[in-house]
Structure 1
Amino acid sequence: MSNFEPYTEGLTLSQTTYRRISEIMEERGKAYSQQAIAMRINISTDTLRMKLRGKRKIYSFELERIAEALHVSVERLMQSDTSELEQELDLIFSALQDPEQSKSVAQKLFWSEATSDAFAENQYADLMKQRALTIAEQLTQCALGVSEKSKSFNQLGRAYYYLHRYQEAHDAWLLAYGHAKKLADKTISEKEPLFNVITNLMISYSNRKEYSELSKILNDIESFFISDPKRKGIINYSLAKISEQKGETEKASQYYYASLNAYRETEAPFFISKALHNTACFEFRCGNFATSKDLFEQALPDLSDHTFHRFVCTKEYCKTLISLGENKHAAELIASSLRKIGSKEMQHLHDQFTLMLSLANDNPEHAEQLLDRECDPGIKQLAYRLLMDLYDKRGDSYSLMKYYRMAKDIGFSSHNILFEEDL
């Protein structure tokens, strides 16, 4: 006898949902194999296999039975129970990355009489960071399957990182990496979660100066992105930085140029220009000033529409020109940049250009201006050093000792000022 089932609507589910069901079955162990689940919902194993591949529709009553067999609700199976929380978390993370929208987003989410003082004191970012952690913890606790766990632990790491809880962030990202790597191993098309986690681990491992561990992970996942030039470029750049930190200059050079070549495959001018800039900075640090100059000159034209990046590239280019003795050209570019940049919009860059103008013109006037106002302590230290060098060259012992006495508490370095990170 054939019975009529109560709900016979055929559902068209996404491949993500089909994969999610399979992931949860695998996570639950052998007792939840396709054969076991098929028996519980009263269909053949072959039929269930076809349905989980999207070859045949799953009926609503079958979805309910699958959820029941897995001991979860249909809402949890479909992730509809957490969709609003995920949207809120995405909104918070987006706002934290963009200060211009932070306050409006925070007001929309959190404003009340109880939080009005926090908004008055511009502490709304703290409210968002705490809320992000609360949501991320909730999502992690209920996550099922490697896909959801990879995403939830990655988001948890971000929430911890915003709160400066760096060890917990690192631990969460390592858990996310384990899940994302397992997903990529099984489904080669699912590389996005893996790359998202790796991006965060690159920051974390670099901050911890654990370059060997980072290098091992990057080498382990490099094959996943061999056909993705942009991501191949990012990975090679990270490997270049690691090699350079370890003093492996030849290997670093190979990775920098591999990164540049990968970005050239993208045919995206902005990304290529950034890669040219990074490689030029490496050549500068190696003392290969002529090569560095050539690379900067290739990079600058396609940065015309990207103000901040153009100024940074120009600054580094001017360091190279000064190192080559082309001070007049450098001074002209620096003066032009100072006229365009404005001191308020990008204060730190403005101060760096101001200091470099004294260096290019062999004139203490501009460096002395920096000492008369508030500026970054690192810049001020470099200003004292430059002024002592300039007055020493002039044989002006009075001015030399004047700035030595002013600067004696901040410490000194014998490195060439042009190679200092603060410049």
Structure 2
Amino acid sequence: MSTIEYATDSSQGNLNLPSRILDLMYTKGEAFTIRGFAQRLGISREYLRLMLSGQREIPPQMLEKIASGLGVSVARLKQLDTKKQTEELNKFFNSKKRTKPMFRRALSIASELVQVALGAKELGYALNNLGRVQYLQALYEEAHESWLRALGCANKLKDQFEDDHLFLLVSSNLMLTYTIRKEYSNMESLLEVVETGYADNPDKLGKAQYTRMKWQEDRGNYELARQHAYRALEFFEQTRDSKQIGISLMNVAHFEYITKNYQLSANYLSKAIQSTSLSDRALIHAVKEYTKALLMLKDYQTIIRIVDEYSYLGKDYPEYWAKLQIAYTTASGDPSYAEAVKNNNDLDINTRYLSCKCLMEFYYLKGDAEKAMRYYEESRIFSSTRCEYLKEEALF
């Protein structure tokens, strides 16, 4: 049984035109101080200062002059030229179901927005969103690098404008990739930043608890990890975000399972499956974990019902479906399901190994020693192929 990751945080940042201009001035270096830029524009330093502090409106003609002085168009200055791409990317983030073409398009858009970005703020938010697209595609190394670059931009915004929104946002996302990479050396300071900066934000606090949960799990402290899983669930219940609550229920169930509280694990997974906001991948993951807990409880009728009910997900997730078919053999007493998995060359060799183990046990319990030995020999063929990966607890 395994835990499942939470969604990342994404934001474009609100466009404040005076701040945008100041950001581009900082990017261009010392020659673009307020005094120096005012001289280039042929206006007084005080007039420019008042406009950039928001105390004076920037007239259209002056805006064109400022844009020209910065070497950009007015559309680029106001980010109007990327409005459609930004809206399309946000639509992708808000979609419950995302197809492969949608992922390809989102990655292309996010990469384009990084390429055209000017200034620390636009670039920082563009990199944060690129990292999120990469994370959703399980490109964790790429996402980590994007967020590290975004963190550099965030530090500039914090130092120059005392704006820590992007810094906190990226720090929250980096917790996820640092956890996946099992890099915990600087995690306590990162968690302190997030938990202090988002003290009244249950979503961010829930993700911090998830990070602490994974940290303790990797240390082998399962009881502490279980406590953090429950704390994460408490925070996410405050958000009323059914998707995040569903994931939290799955993570709590994971630790109840490994501490052998199988009935409690099954109860939480049943609740998670009932959540209508889970993605299809999270849903079939929950179904697979549920059947595993039910196998320990020998609740075969429920296994048959639940596998039949969610059979429509099998086509898109063949590895998950194969493992459910193995469970179906045990529950139904029909070996043909596990046999089909064993003979499917398109499936991962570890899954096929597991089907042999299932069939070996099936015929052993039937008293058919000859067939049990046959499947034992076949399982040895699979295990000798990639034995270093054959950790049975991780297989199912």
**Matches of 1:247 and 1:36, distance apart in 2:** 59
**Matches of 2:276 and 2:107, distance apart in 1:** 37
What are the residue-to-residue correspondences of 1:18-167 with 2, within 5 Å?
18-29=18-29, 31-38=31-38, 41=41, 42-43=43-44, 45=46, 48-67=48-67, 70=70, 72-80=72-80, 98-99=98-99, 102=102, 135=112, 138-139=115-116, 143-154=117-128
**Matches of 1:400 and 1:421, distance apart in 2:** 23
In the alignment, what sits opposite 1:353?
324
Instruction: Assess if the C-alpha contact under 8 Å between 1:177 and 1:198 holds in 2.
Output: no
**Matches of 1:371 and 1:362, distance apart in 2:** 16
Q: TM-score, normalised by structure 1?
A: 0.70
Establish whether residue 376 from structure 1 lines up as the match of residue 376 from structure 2: no
In the alignment, what sits opposite 1:113?
none
Give the counterpart of 1:265 among 214, 227, 238: 238
Instruction: Assess if the C-alpha contact under 8 Å between 2:303 and 2:328 holds in 1.
Output: yes
User: What is the total number of aligned residue pairs between the two structures?
Assistant: 376
**Matches of 1:409 and 1:202, distance apart in 2:** 41
Q: CA deviation at 1:384?
A: 0.9
Instruction: Assess if the C-alpha contact under 8 Å between 1:154 and 1:197 holds in 2.
Output: no
In the alignment, what sits opposite 1:401?
373
| One-letter amino acid of the structure 1 residue matched with residue 308 of structure 2 | R
Give deviations 1:257-313, integer Å, cap 9, x for gaps.
221111011123343232112111122123333442443354444449977655543
- Unmatched 5+ stretches in structure 2: 1-13
| Higher relative contact order (Cα pairs below 8 Å, separated by 6+ residues) | 2
Establish whether residue 178 from structure 1 lines up as the match of residue 152 from structure 2: yes
* Percent identity (aligned): 28
In the alignment, what sits opposite 1:410?
382
Q: TM-score, normalised by structure 2?
A: 0.74
**Matches of 2:281 and 2:127, distance apart in 1:** 33
- Greater gyration radius: 1
Aligned in 2, Cα 1:226/1:235: closer, same or farther, shift over 3 Å?
Answer: same
Q: CA deviation at 1:187?
A: 6.6
**Matches of 2:328 and 2:107, distance apart in 1:** 44
RMSD between superposed Cα atoms in Å: 4.4
Aligned in 2, Cα 1:159/1:275: closer, same or farther, shift over 3 Å?
Answer: closer
**Matches of 2:267 and 2:307, distance apart in 1:** 23
Give the secondary-structure state (helix, strand or coil) at the position aligned to 1:411.
helix
- Unmatched 5+ stretches in structure 1: 1-13, 106-124
| One-letter amino acid of the structure 1 residue matched with residue 342 of structure 2 | L
**Structure 1, 353-362 or 172-181: larger mean CA deviation:** 353-362
Give the counterpart of 2:360 among 377, 385, 388: 388
Q: CA deviation at 1:335?
A: 1.0
**Matches of 1:398 and 1:137, distance apart in 2:** 63
**Matches of 1:131 and 1:267, distance apart in 2:** 32
Q: CA deviation at 1:357?
A: 2.9
What are the residue-to-residue correspondences of 1:287-326 with 2, within 5 Å?
287-303=260-276, 309-323=282-296, 326=297
Give deviations 1:78-118, integer Å, cap 9, x for gaps.
334555676787789999x833755xx9xxxxxxxxxxxxx
Give the secondary-structure state (helix, strand or coil) at the position aligned to 2:381.
coil
